[in-house]
Homo-oligomer: A and B are copies of this chain.
Amino acid sequence: MIKVQSENFNQQIEYDRLRQASHTGAVVTFTGLVRDINQGEQISALTLEHYPAMTEKALADIVKQAQSRWSLIDTTVIHRVGELQLLDQIVFVGVASLHRGDAFAACEFIMDYLKTQAPFWKKETNSQGESYWVDARESDQSALNKWHKV
């Protein structure tokens, strides 16, 4: 399941949906939150812009790649867009599998690719009310390297 939405999501509902499939032995979830501090700045709010026509397609492609590499029972990706507040949930990735290794790898893979391939952009507002686009982190690009070695 893939969703791009402005509304919040509920961890328990998403987890319950993932654990219910037959044979599921392992569920790994990742949740990304709006941090109160980023690159040294005190943050007061965050806006997420995206490329609507492309977003779900990009996420679906990333999930498909994960499904072809690992044995997965079910996968959920939810990404919020629009105005978010401090400590709000931004993104949820959940993976259900028979054994834990597949779920861990696929969940991290999806996040690493989402961070570098899915068309979302963050604009932060700091405590002085100044807004600026967030710079991409070099570490997100290098996080992809581990998936080329496997």
Which residues of A are in contact with B by a Cβ distance under 8 Å? 10-12, 15-16, 19-20, 22-33, 35-37, 87, 89, 98-101, 103-104, 107-108, 111, 139, 143
Q: How far is the CB of A41 from chain B (nearest CB, A)?
A: 13
Q: Report how many copies the assembly holds.
A: 2
Complex CA gap A98/B31 in Å reads: 12
For the complex, what is the distance from the CA of A65 to the CA of B139, rounded to whole Å? 24
Interchain nearest-CB distance for A13 vs B (Å):
9
Smallest Cβ distance from A39 to chain B, in angstroms?
Answer: 11
A26 CB contact (under 8 Å) in B25, B31, B139:
B31
Contact B27 A15 (CB under 8 A): no
Which of B19, B35, B101, B139 touches A31 (beta carbons < 8 Å)?
Answer: B19
